[in-house]
Structure 1
Amino acid sequence: MIRIAGLAFVFAGFLAPTSSDAQEVIDPSLARTDPGDSTRWYDIQLLGIEGQGWDDTKAPFDRLPARAEGVVRDAVWGLSRHSAGLCVRFETDAPTIKARWTLTSDRLDMPHMPATGVSGLDLYARVGDRWQWLGYGRPEQAPTNTGTLASGIEGGPREYLLYLPLYNGVSSVEIGIPEGASLSKATPRPEASSRPIVFYGTSITQGGCASRPGMVHTAILGRRLDRPVINLGFSGNGRMEAEVAGLLAELDPAAYVIDCLPNMDAGEVEERVGPLVRTLREAHPDTPIVLAEDRTYSNAPLVSSARERNATSRAALKQEFDRLVADGVPGLTYLPGDPQLGDDTEGTVDGSHPTDLGFFRMADVFEPVLRSALSEGP
C-alpha cells in the first residue's frame, strides 16, 4: 500500500516480554578483577551487541562491514566506526552497575553537542512495560573512563539497556557489578519483533545533538516499538550513494527509513532516490520503505535561504516518490517534514540539529508511521 503520512501525533505503549527467566548466564570466571577491588568486569561482547547489521566488521563496534572500506567514501567509512545506535541488553540483580569504556578518539565533545552524547554511555532499566532511564557514563578523559552508572538499585533482577557513544568510537566496553551478583544475556525478543528497523541518514540520524545516546529519536523509537534499531546515520554524508544502497540491501529489516535530505540538494535527490529505492525493492519486494522529508529549519520563517533549501529538496523528493508510485513500486510511505520538530521554533540547538526536545517530537511523528508500516510489512 502507498501512503502519505498524516500529521496527527500518536503515542502507544508496547507489550514487553518479561525477564523472569534469564538466558545464558555469563560464567563469572570470564570476568576480570582489579587489584584491591571486588568489582567483576565483563566485556559486553559476551552479552551480544544489538544494532549491528553485519558481523564481519573490522573492529568489534563498527557499523559497516570490513569490506566496505575502500568501497564507500572515506568520510562514510570513518563515521561508520562511531558506535551510534549500538547497545547491549542484559539482565542482572546487581544493586550497583559500573562501566569502563575506551574511546577511539580524544574528541570528547563538540561545540554544539555535550560530551555525554558524543562520548558517553546511557543506561535504561525495564520497569513493567516501559524503559526507565537510570544513569549515564560521563566521559571525562581520553581514552579510558570508569564510572558508576547507578547505585542503590532496588527491586531485584531486571533487564537493562546500555547505549554506546553517538559521535565517538569505542575499542572496549565493560560492565562492572559486585562480586556475587549475576549477569545474563537478556531474554531474546519475540520473533515478531526481532527484525530491526534500519535508519539511513545524516548527522541528525546519527544523533546530533542529543545530550545522551538514548535520546536520539532512533533510540527512543527502538524503546517505544520494542525493536532493535540499526542506526546508519553518517554526519554530513547521508547522500543515497549506490555503494551504501548496495550495503543496505544486504540487510533484512522489518522496515527501512531513508532520511537523507539535509545532506542533498534537489539535483542529487532527483538522481539518487529512484535507484536507491529500486535497489532495496529488488532485494526485498515487500519490506516497507519510509521516505522522510527533512525537518524544517527553525529559522526558516525569517531566512529565505533556509525556506528555499527545505522547499526545493522536498519538492524533488515528492516528485521522485510520485514517480515510483506511478511505476507501481509498492510499500512506500512519504513522511512530511513540517511537523517533525513541533509547531514552535524551540526544538534545535542551531536551527538544524535537534535538542532532546526536538528528538522527542521527531519520535512522536515517526512512531505512528512506523507502526502502520510494520503492521503491513512482510
Structure 2
Amino acid sequence: MSIDWKDNLSFIDPKEHKDIQITGFLDPDKYLRIPEIYFNALEKENPVLTGLIRQTSGGMLKFKTDSPTLALKAKTTNENYGSGLTPNVVSGFDCYIYNEERCAWNYVNVARSENEEEVLFFENLAGEKEIIIHFPLFAQVLSLKIGIDKKAAIKKPKPFSVKGRLVYYGTSLTQGANASRPGINYVSTISRNLNIETLNLGFSGNGLGEPTIRKAIREIADMMMLVIDYDANAGATGSLYTTLKPFISEVREYYPTLPIVIISRIFYILEDYSAETKNKMAHRRTFQKETVESLNESHIYYIDGKTLLPEKPFDCFSDQIHLNDLGFYWFSQNLTDKLKQILIREGVVKEWKQKS
C-alpha cells in the first residue's frame, strides 16, 4: 500500500451527490430505517425499537466510478454487543464490485471507521467499476463520506431489475446476527442476487409485530413484496398468535394484491433434544401454515424456515439460535430461489436480467 493514497483523494458525502444511490432507508437523509414520525408511538409500545431503527442494517450505496482507489471515513456509534457479533458486522462497511464475466458481485474488502478515520477499500484498480457499499448492521451511522481519486468521476449505477422495494420484517436473523460482516446478511445477499431494492426491518430480539410497526410497514410506498419472518421472537412471547392475522389484513387494506411471504422459524438446535421444544416449534409452524391457508387467497405464501437450511444444519450455527456465514449462505441461496419463483408467478418479472 502506497503511503500517500490519502493525499490523492476527494471525500464526498453520498447525500450530496445525485448519482450515488442510497437505499435501505425510509429516511435516507438521517439513515433511518423507519422515519421519526413513528417514534412517539413506538416509545409507548416498545422503546427499544427506536434505537434499533437507527442501526443501519440493509443500508446500501450504489454507484459507478473510474477511480482506481476507493476509501471511506465515517462516524458510527460504538455499540456494545455480545461475543457472537464481530466488530466488522457491528460497525464495518462492506465493498463489492460487479464482475461482468461472472455476472456476480465480487466481495472486495470490509472497512471500519468509527471516528472519521480514513480507511481504504482498494487501490490501483483500473477501469470503470460498479460499486456496492453495505452499511453496518448493528451501529448507527452519524456521518459518512466516500473517497475517490480527485480526477475520477462518479456515475449513476445500472437500475434495479424490478421497480419497488422488497421489504423484510423480522428478528436478529433478519438484522444479520451472527454474520461476520454486513454483506453476508441474507437480505443484502438477495438484493445482490436478484438486483432488487430491499428494506431490512429486522430488529434484534424485538420482532414482535407491534401496532405501530405494522402501521409503518403498510404505509411504505412502492412495496413489491413483503416477507414476514418474526416467529423466533413473536412465537416465543406468544404475540405471533395475536398479531399475524391483523398484520396481514392491515397490509391488504393498502396493498390488495401484494405478494406476502410468511416464513416460520429456522431449525432450532434444541428441537433434537427436547420433545417439549420440538412440539412447541411444530405448533408455531402449523399455526402460520394454517393461517396462510385459511385466507384462501392467491397472493400469500408460506415457507417452512427449516427448508432454507440443509437437512443436517448443525454447522450452520454460531450458537443455539443464530446463523454463521455458512448458515447465511444456505439460507440466502434457498430463499433467493423461492422468492424468484414467487415473483415470476406473480408477474412482477418475466425473467431476470442478472444471473443469481
Residues 1:167 and 2:135 aligned together: no
Indicate the residue corresponding to 2:41 in structure 1.
71
CA shift in 2, pair 1:62/1:244, >3 Å: same
CA deviation after TM superposition for structure 1 residue 323, in Å: 2.2
Shift in alpha-carbon separation, 1:143–1:306, aligned structure 2, 3 A: farther
TM-score by length of 1: 0.83
Distance in 1, Cα, partners of 2:81 & 2:109? 19
- Aligned position for 1:96: 69
Report the counterpart of residue 266 of structure 2 in structure 1.
295
SS at the partner of 2:269?
A: coil
Partner of 1:150: 122
CA deviation string 1:163-213 (max 9, x = no partner): 0000001011111112211122323335xx131210000010001111111
What percent identity do the matched residue pairs reach? 27
Cα distance in 2 between the residues matched to 1:234 and 1:83:
11
Q: Is the 8 A contact 1:264 1:313 kept in 2?
A: no
Map of 2:288 onto structure 1: 317
Aligned-partner SS, 1:235: coil
Partner of 1:367: 336
User: Where does residue 351 of structure 2 map in the other structure?
Assistant: none
CA distance in 2, matches of 1:221, 1:106: 28
Does the CA-based 8 Å contact 2:55-2:140 persist in structure 1? yes
Counterpart CA distance in 2 for 1:187 and 1:356 is 28
Secondary structure of residue in 2 paired with 1:160: strand
Alpha-carbon separation, structure 2, partners of 1:89 and 1:43: 13
Is residue 108–residue 115 contact of structure 1 (8 Å, CA) maintained in 2? no
Q: Contact conserved, 1:298 with 1:346, CA < 8 A, in 2? A: no
Answer whether contact 2:69 2:123 (CA < 8 A) is retained.
yes
Q: Retained in 2: the 8 A contact 1:200–1:258?
A: yes
1:242–1:275: 8 Å Cα contact kept in structure 2? no
Q: How far apart are 1:109 and its partner, in Å? A: 5.2
- For 1:84 and 1:204, locate their aligned partners in 2 and report how far apart those are by CA, in whole Å: 11
**1:119 and 2:88 matched:** no
Give the equivalent residue in structure 2 for 1:237.
206
Q: CA deviation at 1:217?
A: 0.6
Match of 1:80 among 53, 57, 63: 53
Q: Match for 2:224: what amino acid?
A: A
CA distance in 1, matches of 2:195, 2:82: 31
Return the match for 1:49 from 17, 22, 25.
Answer: 22
What is the alpha-carbon distance in structure 2 between the residues aligned to residue 152 and residue 108 of structure 1?
Answer: 36
Letter of the aligned partner of 2:299 in structure 1?
A: G
Q: Which letter does structure 2 place at the counterpart of 1:375?
A: I
Look up the match of 1:225: 194
Is 1:330 the equivalent of 2:304?
no
Q: CA RMSD in A?
A: 1.9
Of 298-307 and 235-244, the range deviating more from structure 2 = 298-307
Tell me if the contact between 1:109 and 1:119 (Cα under 8 Å) persists in the aligned partners: no
Residue in 2 that maps onto 1:340? 308
Letter in 2 for 1:332: I
Instruction: Classify the secondary structure of the residue corresponding to 1:70.
Output: helix
Tell me if structure 1 keeps the 8 A contact 2:75–2:116: yes
Deviation at 1:270, TM superposition (A): 2.0
Counterpart contact for 1:241–1:276, Cα < 8 Å: no
Q: How far 1:281 moved relative to its partner?
A: 1.2
Equivalent-residue separation in structure 1 for 2:160 and 2:294 (angstroms): 38
Alignment match of 1:271 (pick from 223, 231, 242)? 242
Distance 1:272 1:109, change over 3 A: closer
Query: Cα distance, 1:374 vs. partner?
Result: 1.1
Residues 217-258 of structure 1 show CA distances to partners (whole Å, capped at 9, x for unaligned) of 111111111101100001111112221111111122111000
Match of 2:257 among 283, 286, 303: 286
Task: Provide the C-alpha distance between the structure 1 equivalents of 2:335 and 2:299, rounded to a whole number of angstroms.
Answer: 16
Contact 1:43 1:175 in 2 (8 A): yes
Does the 8 Å CA contact 1:211/1:355 hold for their aligned counterparts? yes
Which of the residues 133, 136, 145 maps onto 2:107?
133
Q: How many residues align?
A: 332
Contact 1:274-1:324 within 8 A present in 2 as well: no
CA distance, structure 1, for counterparts of residue 151 and residue 262 of structure 2: 49
